[in-house]
Amino acid sequence: MIRVLIADDETLMRAGIRLILENAEDIEVVAEAADGREAVAACRDRTIDVALLDIQMPGRDGIAAAEEITRISPATYVVMLTAFGEEQSVTRSLRVGASGFLLKDTGPTELIHSVRRAANGEPVLAPRITRRLMEQHVRSTEDTQAALRRTEKLTAAEREVLRLVGTGLSNAEIADQLYLSAGTVKAHISRILTTTGCANRVQAAVLAHDAELLAER
């Protein structure tokens, strides 16, 4: 079972997400929180596989909670719940270790699919925000040399995997495209994260854009 925490200060939002997730046989909502402090406490007290955190919460907000959760519970994948237009908050979330983000108007099927992807270590990126975020980030990058230095120790195969991570593909999709096993792709990504100093796939995707790897093809 995938054990999920839902953190949102709106009771109806939490109830709606719980109702959707409870329709999946492999997902169990094991905790709810109305603010960041409760979310951190829940992750400290029990095993949480995926934490869905609203960015805007009273007291300790979702970003502060995400930073603490990734510190005390590295095995927990943190996915931020956000509204369209909050790109700055999304960027801050990624910097503190969030594994991805979803729009609050995500449909039921996509929500369930995204929780499964997160639990499997796959990227969870809302396409509408991802495009604007990446474009904004790339436009604001004055010097790509720092990003290039972070990727210079990667092998050719690892650079290609990182390029495909930057396009948002899953491990299985990368494996199919490069004719590799899923295990080999996973090993490549693990070394990419270690070599480049990225905390997760989302940060790796941003790095791929910074280093202009997507322009190589």
Query: Domain coordinates of the chain in residue numbers?
Result: 2-127, 141-216
Q: State whether CATH 3.10.450.40 applies to domain 2-127.
A: no
- Give me the residues of the chain with pLDDT under 50, please: 139
Please give the pLDDT value at position 124: 80
Q: Which class in CATH covers the domain with range 141-216?
A: mainly alpha
Please give the pLDDT value at position 170: 83
Give the residues across from 81 on adjacent strands.
54, 102
Please give the pLDDT value at position 129: 62
Contact (CB, 8 A) for 171 and 122: yes
Please give the pLDDT value at position 5: 97
CA distance 200 to 104: 22
Please give the pLDDT value at position 216: 65
| Pick from 179, 176, 178: nearest CA to 217 | 178
